[in-house]
Structure 1
Amino acid sequence: MRAPFASDPVTAQGRRVPEEESTFRSCFQRDRDRIIHASAFRRLKHKTQVFVEHEGDYFRTRLTHSIEVAQVARTIAGALGLNGELTEAVALAHDLGHPPFGHTGEDALQALMFPYGGFDHNAQAIKIVTSLERHYAAFDGLNLTWDTLEGIAKHNGPVLSPDGSGDLPHALADYNALHDLELHTHASAEAQVAALSDDIAYNNHDLHDGLRAGLFTEEDAAALPLVGAAFAEVDRLYPDTDSYRRRHEALRRVFGVMVADVIDTSKAILIGSGARSSSDIRHLGRPVIRFSDAMWADIDQIRKFLFQRMYRAPSVMEKRAEVTKVVEDLFPLFLENPDMLPRHWARQIEDAAQDRTTLARMVADYIAGMTDRFALQEHVRLLQPAHPPLPRD
């Protein structure tokens, strides 16, 4: 049974372009389905979290990560009596704005776009679902409900201060001027669930991927809070299991402990909040979906370990430098030679007689949409003399 503070599709705040609603799917179901069918969602298959796409088929991609986040989020939402469809929609969309090469690509684009208003992957996700996806005859973007757009924009918390002041990424500011997402408030409980599910998923799968990559050992991981107890329980129950099964069994237990903690902690907060509607949740002035303090301290230790042993590992840093150069080379090349862009992008620039800032933002949109593989291929095709560039459709 749904809780009174859950988001209700019947009272959802609607779409910017009015549409006749489905007779057999709720508006949040339609949002989720549109996200799954979006081109940007499919491209997540070849965008990576930490490792570059071609480094191995066993590492997580943005697509597999998004599916894992959605699975965790549905579980937590169900236990708390929240709307699972809205939760899933936000979870599946939360990484749509990431450029190729994970956070490395984002860091490179942020630096390159600094003179032109910056780059932010959450704001880019809003731009994708409101403008850059162009499959529907009646509108640009996916025409998602206000509730889903709000969740994508601020699932990590308010992006403006309570009085409405603060700097916004240009992509988010542009859309918010047309369709106020109340960026000074917290998002729905469903969007908050998606945010913490992201934390749960990436901490667990980065431990798994780091072990698979040989960046640290099971003994290293077992020294961490939560992880050590999980390995000990597996060793007690399955003393003769092989290393691969041992690792998987331990990490799935860590997953379960984190999920249970969020459910227990958040349930108490929600009951104590007195909230009777999703609007009440937005205006409480504090998040309602949280880890316990003890769990957050343990997770913080895991994050610090991953930062040192995985995200800043010498082999990863070497690859980061290589792919940073790919982005740093492609951006000025397209900025100075927009005719090198695919014909439909070049036509948009020519038709609109863009100024340099707008041109830079269009180049950033194009690069941000690239997969790891395509960015590497374009770098070879356009910038290596042995591979003279050919026109692209």
Structure 2
Amino acid sequence: MASHSLPPLPEQRIIVGFGGTCLDYLAVVANFPKPEDNCRSRSMKMQGGGDAANTLACAARLGLNPRLISKIADDMPGSSILRELEADGVDTSALVVAKEGATPFSYVIVDQKTKTRTCIFTPGHPPLQPDDLSPSNLEDAMRGASVVYFDEWLTNPAAFVAREAARRNIPILLDAEKKREGLDDILVLARYAVCAAKFPQAWTEAPTIGSALVSMLLRLPKLKFVIVTLSAMGCIMLERIDTERPTEEVDVDSSLRSLEQRKDDTVTIPICISSEAMNLRAEGIGTVHGKLFLGTAEKIPSFMASVLKCHLKKCCRLLQKWRLLAVELSEPELVCHIEQIRASPHSCKMGAYITRLNALLPFLIEEYDAACPQKPRAIVPRIKSD
């Protein structure tokens, strides 16, 4: 089996993040309640949240050295957030802690039926202001940074920090979810933008995603690339290419449709499909020289999901069966991956091994039916009928 090793980490690993941090109260329910309804949660969890804090915690787990600029209060939620960030390896020396006030928090309702979540956010007080960030603290926070990440919260102090980053020639990465007052002050300085699905068209008023991405690169000359995330559909990126341009123009939406047709829906691992560098035209908007990238999302087969669910409930021994069959097939890398699933099923990535695991299904369905009376019956018969 081919190795899927990651490239080495860069020497300059410091990433600064500015934006929201809060405490999330997550409740999982069978169905989101209607008005006047009462319902019981299936599980409840309290953990740190906020776009900037989540991003930096992820960066730390990937081996980078993140520093967070945000604000909490000296209260129970603030202390919990601080402990969690430090445990993840996030540098909190630039975190502002108010002696009085309240830390931001969110209620997050997770609907198991629709696989959606609803957030109810309560801002903290007092809010973060530019005066909270002394020149020396800001200098220390940005020293050695390769990039400064901004979510779209706290736009007034964020614009101040963004100008300081631009003055130091540190690249800016903006995570844009919706149009907000003051967001344009950061966008014009950004070198990279990652947008929620509706943002590009809302911001540009362009008729399609493709034309909106072209419009963003034309209106924001500092921007090197823009990405729009599309949930289970993956993502699309338009990268500006600063080289000699060919004379022929290609409609951006036609090019995107061409990339879509090259997707293989049977592949479960994430893949990236790219176009050639070309002049991409958006009707009535203009032309930009660049490359389109179409990224797909990882697909976890329903049988795999049911097996992992049973493993978490400790109601069957299927994963051990998978391991033994993997040994028989002489796939040592697969065996190691199964052990990773057993050790940390919440955080494991199926990656390239899902295809191999799917090949084992015929050997396991009978044993699954016999050994697991608590199986999710809506899932297993669908596998049987294939």
TM-score (structure 1 length as normaliser): 0.29
Q: Relative contact order (alpha carbons < 8 A, sep ≥ 6): 1 or 2 greater?
A: 1
Considering fraction of residues, name the structure with more helix.
1
Output the TM-score relative to the length of structure 2.
0.29
